[in-house]
A = this chain, B = another copy of it.
Amino acid sequence: MAAKTRAAPVDAVGCCSPVSAEMLGQRDAELLAAAFAALADPIRLRLLSCIASAEGDEVCACDLLEPSGRSQPTVSHHMKILVDAGLVEREKRGLWVWYRVAPARLAALRAALA
């Protein structure tokens, strides 16, 4: 700690108040960052909003293609990212795949922004 250079000759207002010991841990920061990264894409946000506002609280994957304006592989890729981030739940029923938002995960992210 004391290794701080502090060579500044300026006595104006003074800098470098002791930095708080409370900082997000490395591991926690990585987990949080991964979650926010999943939200850091306009397409994924629109997909998420599409699911969140669906009646019955779930949406079939096929219904996500047209509104997103992206190819099927691209949408599948984005959905995988959302699912891996824990923001969306995936359930295969017969030939189709249905998605639901995971409210607990969203709440956790909200809490992290407090």
A17 in the interface (beta carbon within 8 A): yes
How many copies of this protein are present in the complex?
2
Q: Given the complex, which residues of B lie within 8 Å of A20, measured CB to CB?
A: 50, 53-55
- Cβ-defined contact, B29 with A45, below 8 A: yes
With contacts A33-B41, A45-B33, A109-B113 taken as known, whether A17 is within 8 angstroms of B63 at the C-beta atoms is yes
Query: CB-nearest residue of chain B relative to A42?
Result: B29
Query: CB-nearest residue of chain B relative to A69?
Result: B26
A59 in the interface (beta carbon within 8 A): yes
Q: Given the complex, which residues of B lie within 8 Å of A44, measured CB to CB?
A: 33
- Cβ-defined contact, B95 with A10, below 8 A: yes
Query: CB-nearest residue of chain B relative to A39?
Result: B36
